Homo-oligomer: A and B are copies of this chain.
């Protein structure tokens, strides 16, 4: 094998190694992408309509500043905050508006069970998570920022 062919072969090998490296580095690249993509999970756990309005204001401001297409927002209501998502909620109209603009809104089924609430007792169009606290933890561990309005 002439030396020149060997050199060419090794260049190819180096490229292959480089590509392999790059794929190893990919999880980090994803983490970086996470740093670019805007994602926020908001905790609503107070029985306080002022807090519910703040959460909805925060979501609206995030969308208006970044563009609704450029930010993922999930509002998770649990414990004493579950009232935000009951049918008779004083912020029902605003929740519907947020849902219409692509905000995820999730009720904690653990809390609903504890308060004997069925889905029929809740606002239309919302989502459900088994445990609000688990959802909030997992979202953070997937790179979402946390906000407690």
Contact = CB atoms under 8 A, between A and B. Distances in A.
A80 interface: yes
Interface of A: 1, 3-4, 6-7, 9-11, 13-14, 17-18, 20-22, 24-25, 27-29, 31-32, 34-36, 38-40, 43, 45, 54, 57-58, 61-62, 65-66, 71, 79-80, 110, 130-131, 133-134, 136-138, 140-143, 145-149
Contacts of A149: 45, 79
A contact patch SS: helix
A80 B65 contact: no
A137 B141 contact: no
A110 B146 CA distance: 20
Contacts of A22: 24
